[in-house]
Chain A
Amino acid sequence: MENDIDRGIVPPTNMTRMTAAAVLLMVPIAALLWVDTYAKVEPVLLGFPFFIWYQFLWVFLCSFCTWMAYRQIDLARPRRPLAAAPLDRKKGSR
Chain B
Amino acid sequence: MNTGINYPALAVLIGLFLLVTVMGFWASNWRRAESLASLDEWGLGGRSFGTWITWFLLGGDLYTAYTFVAVPAAMFAFGSVSGFFAVPYTIILYPIIFIFMARLWSVSYRHGYVTSADFVRGRYGSKELSLAIAITGILATMPYIALQLVGIQAVLEVVGLGGGGSVIAKDLPLFIAFALLAAYTYSAGLRAPAVIAFVKDGLIYLVILVAIVYLPSTVGGWGHIFTAAQQKMNSINPATGRPIGVFIPPAQSYWAYATLALGSALALFMYPHSITATLSSRSRNTIRRNAMILPAYSFVLGLLALLGWVAIAAGTKPIGLDGKPNAQLVIPQLFEDSFPAWFAGVAFAAVAIGALVPAAIMSIAAANTFTRNIYREWIKPHATHAEEANVSKLVSLGVKAFALVFVLTLDKQNAINFQLLGGIWILQTFPAIVFGLYTRWFHRWGLLAGWAGGMIYGTVAAYNLVNPVTGNHFAGSVSMIPVIGEMGYIALTAFTMNAIVAAAVTVVLGFAGVPHGDDETVEADYFADEGDPRVQKPVAAVSPHAAVH
- Residue contact B92 to A49, C-beta cutoff 8 Å: no
Across the interface, name the chain B residue whose C-beta is closest to A67: B292
- A8 smallest CB distance to B (angstroms): 4
Report how many residues on chain A are interfacial, defined by Cβ distance under 8 Å.
52
A-B contact pairs, 14 of them (CB 8 A): A5-B524, A32-B261, A35-B253, A39-B251, A40-B248, A47-B221, A52-B306, A62-B91, A62-B95, A70-B289, A82-B532, A91-B520, A92-B519, A94-B440
CA distance A60 to B535 in the complex (A): 40
Task: Tell me if A1 is interfacial: C-beta within 8 Å of chain B.
Answer: no
Contact with A along B447-483 (1 / 0, CB 8 A): 0000000000000000000000000000000000000
- Residue contact B299 to A32, C-beta cutoff 8 Å: no
Which residues of A have CB within 8 Å of B529? 79, 81
Report how many residues on chain B are interfacial, defined by Cβ distance under 8 Å.
55
- Residue contact B295 to A63, C-beta cutoff 8 Å: yes
- B514 smallest CB distance to A (angstroms): 16
Binds A, one of B24-32, B80-88, B403-411: B80-88
CA distance A11 to B41 in the complex (A): 30
Partner of B522, one of A73, A80, A93: A93
Across the interface, name the chain A residue whose C-beta is closest to B94: A66
Beyond A8-B523, A48-B226, whether A58 also contacts B95 by CB under 8 A is no
- Residue contact A28 to B95, C-beta cutoff 8 Å: yes
- Residue contact B223 to A47, C-beta cutoff 8 Å: yes
Report A25-78 residues with CB < 8 Å from chain B CB. 25-26, 28-29, 32-36, 39-41, 46-49, 51-52, 55-56, 58-60, 62-63, 65-67, 69-70, 73, 77
- Residue contact B519 to A35, C-beta cutoff 8 Å: no
Across the interface, name the chain B residue whose C-beta is closest to A70: B288
Task: Tell me if B180 is interfacial: C-beta within 8 Å of chain A.
Answer: no
- B372 smallest CB distance to A (angstroms): 19
- Residue contact B80 to A51, C-beta cutoff 8 Å: yes
Report B424-444 residues with CB < 8 Å from chain A CB. 440
- Residue contact A84 to B92, C-beta cutoff 8 Å: no
- B223 smallest CB distance to A (angstroms): 4
CA distance A6 to B534 in the complex (A): 13
- Residue contact A35 to B257, C-beta cutoff 8 Å: yes
- Residue contact B248 to A41, C-beta cutoff 8 Å: yes
9 closest A-B pairs (Cβ-Cβ)? A47-B222, A8-B523, A92-B518, A47-B223, A8-B522, A25-B95, A32-B88, A35-B254, A82-B532
- Residue contact B95 to A65, C-beta cutoff 8 Å: yes
- B438 smallest CB distance to A (angstroms): 12
- Residue contact A58 to B535, C-beta cutoff 8 Å: no
Beyond A51-B80, A70-B288, whether A89 also contacts B535 by CB under 8 A is yes
Beyond A35-B249, A69-B98, whether A28 also contacts B532 by CB under 8 A is no
Task: Tell me if B527 is interfacial: C-beta within 8 Å of chain A.
Answer: yes
Task: Tell me if B163 is interfacial: C-beta within 8 Å of chain A.
Answer: no
- Residue contact A48 to B222, C-beta cutoff 8 Å: yes
What is A's interface to B at a CB cutoff of 8 Å? Answer: 4-11, 25-26, 28-29, 32-36, 39-41, 46-49, 51-52, 55-56, 58-60, 62-63, 65-67, 69-70, 73, 77, 79-82, 84, 87-89, 91-94
Beyond A59-B298, A62-B92, whether A4 also contacts B524 by CB under 8 A is yes
Which residues of B have CB within 8 Å of A92? 125, 518-520
- Residue contact B88 to A58, C-beta cutoff 8 Å: yes
Across the interface, name the chain B residue whose C-beta is closest to A9: B524
- Residue contact A5 to B98, C-beta cutoff 8 Å: no
Which residues of B have CB within 8 Å of A81? 529, 531-532
Which residues of A have CB within 8 Å of B261? 32-33
Beyond A9-B524, A55-B84, A56-B87, whether A66 also contacts B249 by CB under 8 A is no
Report B516-548 residues with CB < 8 Å from chain A CB. 518-520, 522-525, 527-529, 531-536
- B381 smallest CB distance to A (angstroms): 15
Report B285-319 residues with CB < 8 Å from chain A CB. 285, 288-289, 291-293, 295, 298-299, 302, 306
CA distance A9 to B514 in the complex (A): 27
CA distance A33 to B262 in the complex (A): 8
Which residues of A have CB within 8 Å of B531? 81
CA distance A70 to B101 in the complex (A): 13
Which residues of A have CB within 8 Å of B288? 70, 73
Which residues of B have CB within 8 Å of A6? 522
> Beyond the given A29-B95, A91-B520, could you list 19 further A-B residue pairs with CB under 8 A, ordered by the A residue number?
A8-B523, A10-B524, A25-B98, A39-B249, A51-B248, A52-B84, A60-B295, A65-B95, A66-B292, A67-B292, A70-B291, A70-B292, A73-B288, A80-B527, A81-B531, A87-B533, A88-B536, A92-B520, A94-B440
With most chain A CB atoms within 10 A of its CB, the pick from B91, B125, B298, B519 is B91
Across the interface, name the chain B residue whose C-beta is closest to A40: B248
Across the interface, name the chain A residue whose C-beta is closest to B299: A59
Across the interface, name the chain B residue whose C-beta is closest to A5: B524
- Residue contact B533 to A84, C-beta cutoff 8 Å: yes
Which residues of B have CB within 8 Å of A51? 80, 248-249
Partner of B226, one of A49, A89, A93: A49
